Amino acid sequence: MSEAVETVRIEVSRVREAAERFIANVGEVIVGKKDVIELVMVSLFSEGHVLLEDVPGIGKTMLARATARSLGCRFKRIQCTPDLLPSDVTGIHYFNQKTSEFEFRPGPIMANIVLVDEINRATPRTQACLLECMQEQQVTVDLDTVSLQRPFLIIATQNPVELEGTFPLPEAQLDRFLLRIRIGYPSQEEERDILSRFQRTNPLDSLGSVIGVDELLELQELCRQVYVEESVCQYVTAITRATREHQDISLGASPRASMGLHLASQVLAAIRGRDYVIPDDVKHVAVPVLAHRLIVNAGSRLKGQSGEAIVKDIISAVPVPVEKQA
């Protein structure tokens, strides 16, 4: 084994150790749901935005706040309402009467971790102000462009069952979310543990940081060094291209989705202690990376088809690369 390969393997162990610390720390607040917390880790180490979508009371906001508390980063929260303005998010220039000059007052988007709660309650005009910062990590206010400090991550939540007073996210914005995660109801044992854990105090109040800003940036760079064999790259592109040719889909996954699936697979492999990607890594993240980017035909929707089901069908249909025999 070459010295370079050995170095990468040792460095990947740092990613796994940090992931274990993060999962254990968030697990002090979120009971069970280790697979969900692991996907949040994938978004953090990919520096990709995550959309938490589920019914009320599942713990979406709690998970987002526990994630922010576990990182030594600047955290801000945006509570979306129909009267929220773009300037309330990005910031404004105001006239300072003491200095007789215009000064810039930054908005809550100028942070490392930004919780956008109930994002679909904001109007399309306000939702649109997030497009630039989500893709280019910068904000343009009036004629000034301000770069956002890395790491930068948006954790958005939305309720899929309420329609009144909400505005569906456009496809351009959905495509900017690396992952869409559904938490799901807890089991009976987990729900009993929730009642016991939150009986006297809220464990979120005493939750501390386990990963600092500099360490997080280093881990993000390490994850990009995970080796992806050519056949696995072809497997990634085969899955995304299959979404564009599927009879039940009118709009398939974009090249940005292919890059997201590739990077998310690298991060998942590193989190699990490997310095190389296997097809199972791609399969595991395919649904949360791709399903929300697809537009299902109206006729297929009436038949009960969903993006998640279609992605699962594609995964089962696309041939899996196997190791070549010597």
Residue 69's pLDDT is: 87
Q: Position 165: which residue type? A: G
d(CA 185, CA 155): 20
* Neighbour-count burial of 202, counting CB atoms closer than 10 A to its CB (0-12 exposed, 13-18 middle, 19+ buried): exposed
**Prediction pTM value:** 0.86
- pLDDT digits (tens), the chain, 326 positions: 455 555 556 678 888 998 899 999 988 888 888 899 999 999 989 988 999 988 888 888 888 888 888 888 888 899 998 999 888 888 887 777 788 777 778 888 888 889 998 998 999 988 988 888 888 888 888 777 888 888 899 999 888 776 677 888 888 888 899 999 988 888 898 888 888 888 888 888 888 888 888 888 898 898 898 988 999 999 999 999 999 888 888 888 889 999 999 999 999 999 988 888 999 999 999 999 999 998 888 887 788 788 888 889 899 998 888 765 43
* Neighbour-count burial of 282, counting CB atoms closer than 10 A to its CB (0-12 exposed, 13-18 middle, 19+ buried): buried
Q: Position 96: which residue type? A: N
Domains of the chain (ranges; CATH) run: 1-202 (3.40.50.300), 224-321 (1.10.8.80)
Residue 2's pLDDT is: 52
Q: HEC string of 254-265? A: CHHHHHHHHHHH
Residue 178's pLDDT is: 92
Q: Where are the alpha helices (DSSP H) in 48-187?
A: 60-69, 86-90, 124-136, 171-174
For residue 163, give every residue at least 6 positions away whose Cβ sits within 8 Å of its Cβ, in sequence order, or none: none
